[in-house]
Structures are given as C-alpha cells and as structure tokens.
Structure 1
C-alpha cells in the first residue's frame, strides 16, 4: 500500500500543473497548487503540506529566492522542478535548501518516485529514532532538534542532515564525495565548496572554528570526522 502525502505544487505553467495534479492524485496523494511564488508561500504556511514541488521559473519571484523565503520559516521537504540543467544552477538550488530536483521535461512517474524517495529520507528511521549523543552534543532524528550542553542549536534542514550523517559515524573520516552523494544527493563531484561552506556554518553554530575544532575535525585531503571531545571519547 502506498503512503499518501499532502503535496503542494507551485508552478505557473497550466499544462504542467494540471498534468501533475491529475497524475499525483491518481497515485493517491492529496494535492494543492498555486500559480505564483507568493501564493505558494501563503498556501504552504496555511496548509502545512508534507512536501512542496517548486518550479524555479516563476513569474513573480525567482524560484531560488522563493525557496530561501520558505526555508526561513519552514523545514518542509522541497523538490525543485527546473529547465536549468547546468550544474551550478542545480547546486545553488540544493544549497538554498532543496531536498532534490527534477529537470524538465519529466514524467509524473519520475516525480512520484522522487517524492517517495525524499519522504523516505526525511522519515526518522527505526534504527536512529532515539537521540544520538556525542559528548555534549545531542541530536534527535525524530524531532530534528539539536542541543549543545543543553542549549538548543538552530540548524537548517541541510545542516541537520550533514551533522546527523557525521554523528552516525562518530570517529570515522567521511569523504566529501560521500557527503555530496548521501546528504546532497548529488551524483557528481566538483562541488566540494558546497560541503566546505556548510561545514563552516555548522562549526560556527557549534561555537568552534576550523583552526580550533572541538567536534568537527578536517582530515586534509580525505574528509571530515565528528569526534567526542570529552575525555575518553573517540580518538581525535
């Protein structure tokens, strides 16, 4: 039996919007739609969908800007639909907070598969449903909350996914290629800067720097590892 998701499609092309609404409803999803970025943002706040399909070529606000606006107030999963298939555009979309992307033209079957994959990745998995504790750092995969020495740490969805991936492998060096593949779902290299930037943001929020790391240690030319800085923690 398929899981039913409440979807919001933000797409100005009437033909594409109509096709997606019909096809995704046929697959058992509940679907709302909006023809502009601003109408879509209002609907997202009002309806609280499980996932948003966001066209990047909207008439009122650029799709990437709309995504940044959405990310300022919501961690809802987002799949961007774009005719821009150049790698820098796709990386910018993922960096702005998208969970996945599809390049036009696409089929409803392909979109449905992406929707299910994103929702599976976002669902807390049974093995990691309990909090992960590394020194004074606690991650709760079910609520997607992080605390450091008992104080809440505000992370973006991407920062949380990055930290969770490292926390599940505490003490192990994880390559940037693996992070791009597993956290960003990028099947290609050449975007190491994306990882570096997010690691820098994460370090700042954990109150450390690359020069004076506590939890996040870079292994030059190899990758990065999360360590327990307390006495008796995994070796640094």
Structure 2
C-alpha cells in the first residue's frame, strides 16, 4: 500500500495526537483524529481509513469495546497504543481483533515501522462498506441501526446478529452452520430451528414476504443470503 494511506488516531490526549499527526504526516500519510470512542467509530465508518491507531483509555468507552464494535463490520488493521502494559490487557486486545500492540511511552521509529508493516499486510480493495441499503432497507453496521422506509426497526440481539452477518456479504450465501456457530456457538451447529425462527421474525419486521422475498433469500438446505439488488 502506498504512503498516501489514511490513518485514524483515536486518543483523548491532545499532545499524543499532535505528536502522532506530525510524525505520520511527515511520512506522507493522511491523518484523521478523534478524542472519544464514539467519535472514532463514526470516523471509522465515514472516512474508511486504511489503519486505526487506538488508545484503550478513552473518556466515553473502553477502547476494547471500540475494537469489538469495529470488528463487527470491518477488518481494517488496528494498532493499539496504550499505557496498559499487562499481559492480560495485550492478550484481550489481540484476541479481540487487534493486529498489533504498542505500549506508551514508545519510540516513534518503532511505531512507524509497525505502521508500515500493518499497511503492507492489509488487503487492498477489499474494504467492507459500513452501510447497506436496498429498496428502503438500510443497515448501518457502524451504528447498529436498521431502518425500513425511514423508520427504525427494533430487533433483538439475535435478529440483528443474523441480519448484520448477511449484510457483511450481500449477494453471498452464508451457510446455516456458519451462522449457528458464529451467533449461537459451536454446540448449536445442528439447531437449525433456532435460525428458522429468527429468519421468520426478521421477515415479519422487514415486511419481507417469504413467498416473494425482496431482502432475505433462502437457499434450501444450505443457508441464506441478503439480496444485493432488487430481484423479480
């Protein structure tokens, strides 16, 4: 990836953000800043950065929670930059989807080398959109908000989890086993009735006629897919 990459820095310390901005801009990167987790999540969805530098000690939410929310819809590289130096904190962040972890205080040359390494590893041209929209249905994966015809649709956690999985890969079949394992856990691989019930509730709430579906299509015996274009 070229050094025109966009890097989002989420850190509540102005002096740290200034130091990182000066250092990264000097290397040819474009830098976007956020001082809170909620602002950072919005920037991640709107600006579609190539790399996220994330502090864990944010004023409005823990950085681990920011990481968790980002990973629900994006695989952009995340470099955690934190004063938390314990092994448990590092393991939690890395298990939660962080690609690298640097503790403060840090050497800027090592930091820049890790940035370059993550940008080299990042897949190009495969960024997933944070917003799915089709025929009056809008699924905002960053804000976890679903609307139909402009009105918000109230979904249970399981209903949203299934719909967001389908929205990550519109047009592609997601198998029953994948959905069951990811949402209910590996001990529920054969509990397909759970999935049928949730899909039924989703179709009711999205006013999606099972006989002539506009949004959620069933691939019998295989799984489900979310239409990426109006069909029929």
TM class by shorter chain equals 0.5 to 0.7
Tell me the equivalent position of 2:72. 72
The TM-score with structure 1 as length reference comes to 0.53
Q: Could you tell me how far apart the structure 2 residues matched to 1:123 and 1:43 are?
A: 20
Tell me the equivalent position of 1:25. 25
1:44 aligns with 2:44: yes
Report deviation, 1:109: 1.8
Q: Could you tell me how far apart the structure 2 residues matched to 1:38 and 1:102 are?
A: 22
SS of the equivalent of 2:40 reads: helix
The TM-score with structure 2 as length reference comes to 0.54
Tell me the equivalent position of 1:4. 4
Listed as ranges, the matches of 1:135-154 within 5 Å are: 151-152=173-174
- For structure 1, the 5+ residue unaligned runs are 125-144, 155-199, 209-236
Which range moves more in the overlay, 54-63 or 108-117?
108-117
Q: Could you tell me how far apart the structure 2 residues matched to 1:100 and 1:153 are?
A: 31
Q: Could you tell me how far apart the structure 2 residues matched to 1:204 and 1:31 are?
A: 40
Change (3 A) 1:153 1:37: farther
The runs of at least 4 aligned residues of structure 1 exceeding 6 Å deviation read none
Tell me the equivalent position of 2:55. 55
CA contact under 8 A between 1:24 and 1:108: conserved in structure 2? no
Change (3 A) 1:95 1:7: same
Which range moves more in the overlay, 42-51 or 3-12?
3-12
Q: Could you tell me how far apart the structure 1 residues matched to 2:108 and 2:53 are?
A: 12
Tell me the equivalent position of 1:111. 111
CA contact under 8 A between 1:56 and 1:80: conserved in structure 2? yes
Change (3 A) 1:47 1:153: farther
Report deviation, 1:33: 0.4
Change (3 A) 1:153 1:122: farther
Which structure's CA Rg is the greater one?
2
Change (3 A) 1:5 1:153: farther
Report deviation, 1:4: 2.6
CA contact under 8 A between 1:2 and 1:28: conserved in structure 2? no
CA contact under 8 A between 1:80 and 1:102: conserved in structure 2? yes
SS of the equivalent of 1:80 reads: strand
Q: Could you tell me how far apart the structure 2 residues matched to 1:120 and 1:152 are?
A: 29
SS of the equivalent of 2:75 reads: coil
Tell me the equivalent position of 1:168. none
Q: Could you tell me how far apart the structure 2 residues matched to 1:40 and 1:71 are?
A: 13
SS of the equivalent of 1:74 reads: coil
